[in-house]
Structure formats: C-alpha cells, structure tokens
Structure 1
C-alpha cells in the first residue's frame, strides 16, 4: 500500500465508545529520539504546518492496511525494569541507519492496555490490532532498513505470556538493575509506574494502600518486586529466545551481549559504543553515575532481585 508509506498510527483511543486510531506522517525521518513520544511531537508539529487535517481511522482500516505493506518483522522486543540502561541501548541501536527503533511507543501500550478499558475485548481482537500496528510501524520506509527493535514500557513485563504467545519466534531481551539504584533514580525524577494511580494497580500486580500515597519509594519498591518475581520465573522457565542482562555487568559489555544473544548484526558498533558514554536521555551530556541518596532498605524488593540474579 504505497499510499501509506511513512504513515503510522500513533494513538489508540476510545473517545465515543468505538476504538479508533490517529495517524501521523513520519516523512523521511529516521527515528532517533530517546522516547517515541518526542518523535510524535516533532512529526505532529510539522504536519500542522502543512494542514489542520488530523487523520483518523477505525480498527478495520488498521488491519486491512497492514496486509499490503512491505515490513520488517520484529528483530527483538526489549523489556526492562526502568533506569537500567534500556534507553541507552535503544539510543545506541538508533545510530545504525539499518535499524528501526521504537522506544516506549504509546500506541503499543494503549493497545495492550485496551483490555483494562474494555472488558468485552477478546484476546484474538487485541492480537490482530497489535500485530497490524507492529507491521505498519516496521514498514521498510528506507532501502537500508533491515532490523526492527521495539522497547516496551517496564510494566509490559506482566504481558509476557501474551507477547510470547503472539511472537513465539522473536527474541526477547530483558534488562535489569538492583532496586536501590532504580528507586533512587525515580526518587529524583519519577516515571509513570513510580506514582500510585497513574498505571492501573491491577496491571502492576499491586493492591493500593494508604502508605503508597505518602511514600512513593515504597510503592516503587513493590512494583519492582513484582518485576523481579516475573524475571525469576522466566529464568527458571529457560525459554531459548529469552535473554537477560543486568546493569551490574557493565555497560561496556551490553552491546556485545545483546547482538550475540539475539543473533542480530551491526556495522556501526564503534559508534554505538561511543553513545554509551553519554546520558541516555540527553545525548549531548557525558554520563555520570547517579548521586547517592540515603533511602530505607526495601527488603522484599532486594530479596526478589537477589533470587532473580542468583537464578541467572
């Protein structure tokens, strides 16, 4: 469908009781921003300069339009516990002009979480939407594109059973870090899943209690505990296409381990390694270790992490 070249859906919503998608024109842009919502803002701004038209479609158009697209299947899905090097990895991957990289695309999250908003949805329907969206996002817009990497949001680790069922032959790569460092990072600059009430508690496998609203770090520790427990179970299950990397193993070894694990290729590894020396979210700033902050010892999160690391 040549008419859709460079066009992708970027938002999935249900404003009037019917699921619909908003579309945008990527034009010739190579996606290189740390997070895909930044790419969306840039592209929408350029679209508004040309027209006030805001393209919408129903889900039938999404599924139908994906059938005729020359697309690259996902090379790997990247899971993470947040603040563990995942953004740095995707930033390095985006340096290679052969790679299409989506970092925490809101559309992916909105489709997965549609179950929460609409209890009548069937898994088969959400699977069809998800795969169609991924295919359109992976369209071969440039001749040099060869690989597609999708970094999920941290809470998508709880969608592992569905995603593994839908993509049985795709490598999954899991990034982790010890809870104290993750909590300190969120203490300084909070992510969505470190504030109670933003992401559905049921999705995070948390039962909200009064203390969560007065101690966000305690809430974050419980969220992380749930992530580590899933990671532990996955290590024990030992799926041949699941691969793990912990921040403590060093960022210098990350790229080598990543490409060896998922059997992907690159011709720009030296340039990628240079990117690892700068801040993940601010490419122009050299990276400095996080400043230590004295916080309580969240025993249960630490125990869950140690059980996972020991099992690796």
Structure 2
C-alpha cells in the first residue's frame, strides 16, 4: 500500500513532468505567465532549453505548441483552465484538434475550488469545451497517484489530450498496490448493489467519504472513479446501470456538457436507467474559501450522502 499523500494535483503534475523530462528529451513545456501557479517552474529550472515562457498570450502558446508537435516534440501547453481551454479554444480546435496533433493542453485551477479568485477564474465549462473537439482525450485525475499516472499516459498517447488540474490539496485515494491507470477505463473503488456513484477529479475523495458513511448505515453504494471523461468507459457505466439501477454523477463542473451528460448519453443509447447529476447547476460561481464554496454548491461528502438517501427513500 502506497503512502497517503495530501497535495494539489497541480503539484503532482509539476513533479511528474520533471521526472519524465529526464529520460524523454521530446517533452517541452510552454506556459503563459503562470509557471508558479501551474507548478511547472521546476521543469523550467531543470530543463531551461525545453521551457518556453509565452507571456499572457494563450492562443499564441497553443500555436507554438502545435508547431513543436509537428516537429516531433511532446508539448505541454499550460495555463489556468479558463485560459487554456476557454480563451484559446479556437486555437486548440483548429491548430491542435483539426490536424490531430500530439499536444497536451493543461488546464489548472479548474472548478469552484479556485475559491477567492471568483467567477471569472472558476472555469466550470472546460470539460464541455474540450469534449466537443473531435479526437480530444479529456482526463480529470482525482489525486496525487492518479495525476502522476495520467501525465505518463498522456506522454505515451499519440494525439491531443486535455489534462485538468486542481488547486485545492486533496488526500490520495488510489494508494492500493494493484492500482492501474488506463485512458478510457474507469476504476471501481467500492463495490455495491443499491446505487452507483460515478465521480471525477476532486469529487472522488468526497464521494469516498459519502459512500463509506452510507455503508455504515447499511446502504451499499458502488463508487466509480471516472478519471477519463472522454473517451468514457461505457462498458463500466452500462454494467453499473444493469446491476444497481440508479446512477449519480458528481463533478466540479457545470452539469451541462460534463461527466453527467456523457453518462446520460451512454445510458440513453445503451441501457436506460435513472440518473441524477450533481455539479454546478448552470450558474456562475463567486469568490470565497474553496471548502465553503464546495459545500454551498453541494459538492461535498455530506451533499452526496444526502442526495443518495433522498433517491433511495
């Protein structure tokens, strides 16, 4: 069993890039004036000739990344999700997605947990935007170990990848020795037959607390860590729907266009089943302490537990 680690996934991302950069000379990191916030400053110190500061020009950064990819490099274009997925959307679509180039778009500080930065920076639309680009893989790792595995998988994958990073420190949950990461394959963290909770990113840790609390009350909820939102593990979703009935999705993202809609489409086309989507319900966030905001939006263990109880009642 690996050590329990509590840190933000953006930190794990930065550490892993440095590690992989030692042996892979093709990895190049581009940043838009946010090296410290996205935790790639150490990559720049270790490999200054493979670190490009593009300034506050995210569209240009993605264009440069596309050029590097066309020359055989593996560029990571990093910024806040609001900028790498939002401001640079046209360049990501036309310069990376359309030619299907091997560029890794990195969106840090995603979701409500950005906290005090407020609504303008709390990007809850990035997964929807990136899912809409043909051929784009969308990864939203839950913890330290999953982020390390996801970065490695992104490097090995030949094609465009969107990688979502969190600002808030979270306790690791994928510590078990048999943990295995594969793009497009969800992980069943808890078995159960009464209902299924499918969570992604930061919400996986909260869902674990909720499911364990429910188990102590005699409610056996299955829990799936869906680290890959696209391509979705449809086989796992269908299996859960057939065996447990009701599905609850939990995401730190707008319920429009995110994990919930991906699961809804899968169920409608393959195995109709009741679905409840937990997430940001088509509203903007606002400034405040991250933990308090998550509770306000119901994106916490207590909110998940209460939702499951209401469904089963």
Q: Under a length normalisation based on structure 1, what TM-score does the superposition of the two structures give?
A: 0.34
| Structure with bigger RCO (C-alpha 8 Å, 6+ apart) | 1
Higher strand proportion: 2
Larger radius of gyration: 1
Q: Under a length normalisation based on structure 2, what TM-score does the superposition of the two structures give?
A: 0.34
